[in-house]
Amino acid sequence: MQDTKVSASALQEFDLIFFGGTGDLAMRKLLPALYNRFRDSQHTQGWRIIGVARQDLSREQYLNLVSENCRQFIPGGDFDERAWTAFTAHLEYLRLDGTQPEGYAELARRLQNSNDRVRVFYLSTAASLFAQICTNLAANQLVTPQTRVVLEKPLGRDRASSYEINEAVAKIFEERQIYRIDHYLGKETVQNLIALRFGNAIFEPLWRRSNVQDVQITLSETVGVEGRGDYYDRYGALRDMVQNHLLQLLCILAMEPPSSIDPDAVRDEKLKVLRALRPITLDCIKAKTVRGQYRAGAIDGAAVRGYLEEADIPPDSHTETFVAIKAELDNWRWSGVPFYLRTGKRMQERMAEIVVNFRPVPHAILPTSASEGNRLVIRLQPDEEVRLYLMVKVPGAEMKVRPVDLNLDFKQEFKTRQWDAYERLLMDVILGKLTLFMRRDELDAAWRWIDPIRDGWDALGEPPKSYAAGTWGPTASNTLITRDGNTWREDGYQ
Ligand code: NAD
């Protein structure tokens, strides 16, 4: 049975200060995650959480706001009135404009007797504020050796702006103190991908070009821009999803076995993957990328409007809400294996999954086995599961085979509530574990691959391809993959 408790000896006393303490992320994810860890932990005496935002709120008003919001995001069975009351006793509020030096004296006063405790500044605000917040923290002597800073995405819009943000933060914090968060890496199934690869010798000889035909990574959403049109239109799917989440998943899947699970051993290997990505230049951009934008359509039978009709979206916007890319790695292990990356809004289904398609048998003696190979599906959402498809005989007189999955059912096996990604990542920050956070050079390498795609699209000057909401994206996305003789998973067996 999995141990859901954080080891009491490991978890030190801490002060966790959220900039953006009244924001959507804090209410929907961060505070519910902390509550869940609090409720499951045995030793919680040393917890102190301070929400920081610009609103003029008393502590009581803040607690009411948090209670009202968080109740919606903590599933009924996990909400315990007594635990919640105990949790909120550790919660404070501070009104502070992070960009102005004035309010920091009060923050310093509150933290004055806790310089020896773990201190975490979680910057859940726009990245444009990070530099000023860090400077103000340092000017008020708030950065102790035990201090960590967590940076939310997106860290820039391109390589140059990302460099600027990182440079400003690096003036105040050492790299070992900086936790660049990508919540996909905190998902249980991503950890399981690591366990599957490096805990099972049977996969080791299979995990390479000679056995793998293609890899598909899909992060699809059914939602549209959800009131964040202004932000989304400046970023688009390439920056919002591919640069971080998709490339991070690709790294975990494709990296060489690290010599240990230590942060730098793992991050060195991820960096090599990013550096091995073949550049997508203007001459191949049409063959290797597809960008799309949703028009009106229907999701689960309900009509939804198109991207250009959403609030805060300019009527002539060319921002992509869908991207499909054929990525290739120029290295010994993966040469010639296409990695198809795909993400979009207003798609037919909400899911995040990695599909590894193995090559079919070299010589078919059984009907239907010739064209279909084995398949490993690692699903991150909506449910977290791992399925390995094998060919088995269909009962009956004929020798017919079809794929059937071996399903690793974590819920059944471990009978425990799965941690949300933010629960794991927040605990890792407090425990000082950097493995699941991006290092600066990784981020830089990711942008170095992404920027030319963006530039190529600009140079082409073509509008994104239209797709109806509620579909799997533009038809060109199918062409991208069928041209190589492959198909997206939803078009094959399930
Ligand atoms: P939000 O707009 O809902 O909240 C922003 C918060 O920052 C508010 O509490 C606001 O009071 C505070 N704030 C703004 N300016 C401030 C200042 N000068 N000083 C102090 N506080 C200030 O935004 P959000 O959705 O919570 O997102 C926060 C960050 O997390 C953003 O960088 C966003 O890109 C990132 N993020 C959000 C999500 C999400 O699901 N909401 C997901 C991934 C990343």
Domains of the chain: 14-183 (3.40.50.720), 187-419+439-482 (3.30.360.10)
Q: For residue 220, give the H/E element and its range.
A: strand 212-220
- 3-class SS of residue 103: coil
**Residue 442, C-beta contacts closer than 8 angstroms, at least 6 positions apart:** 251, 267, 270, 271, 274
Of 43, 245, 318, 363, which is the active-site residue?
Answer: 245
Residues 162 and 171: their CA atoms lie apart, in Å, by: 14
Q: What is the pLDDT at residue 399? A: 87
Residue-level length of the chain = 494
**pLDDT tens digit sequence for 211-221:** 999 999 999 99
User: How far does residue 126's CA lie from ligand 1's centre (Å)?
Assistant: 6
CB of 136 sitting under 6 A from ligand 1? no
Percentage of the chain exceeding pLDDT 70:
96
CB of 124 sitting under 6 A from ligand 1? yes
Token code pair at residue 29? 């994810």
**pLDDT tens digit sequence for 36-85:** 999 998 778 899 999 999 999 999 999 999 999 998 898 877 889 999 99
Please report, for residues 271, 274, 380, the alpha-carbon distance to residue 207 in angstroms, rounded to integers and kept in the order given.
Answer: 19, 18, 20
Residue type, 6: V
- For the question of residue 245 being annotated catalytic, the response is yes
The residue whose CA has the least distance to atom 5 of ligand 1 is 23
The residue whose CA has the least distance to atom 41 of ligand 1 is 25
**pLDDT tens digit sequence for 169-182:** 999 999 999 999 99
User: How far does residue 231's CA lie from ligand 1's centre (Å)?
Assistant: 11
Q: What is the pTM of this model?
A: 0.94
- CB–CB of 345/322 below 8 Å? yes
User: How far does residue 127's CA lie from ligand 1's centre (Å)?
Assistant: 9
Pairing state of beta strands 401-408 and 212-220?
A: unpaired
Q: What is the pLDDT at residue 189? A: 87
Q: Which atom of ligand 1 is nearest to the CA of 231?
A: 34
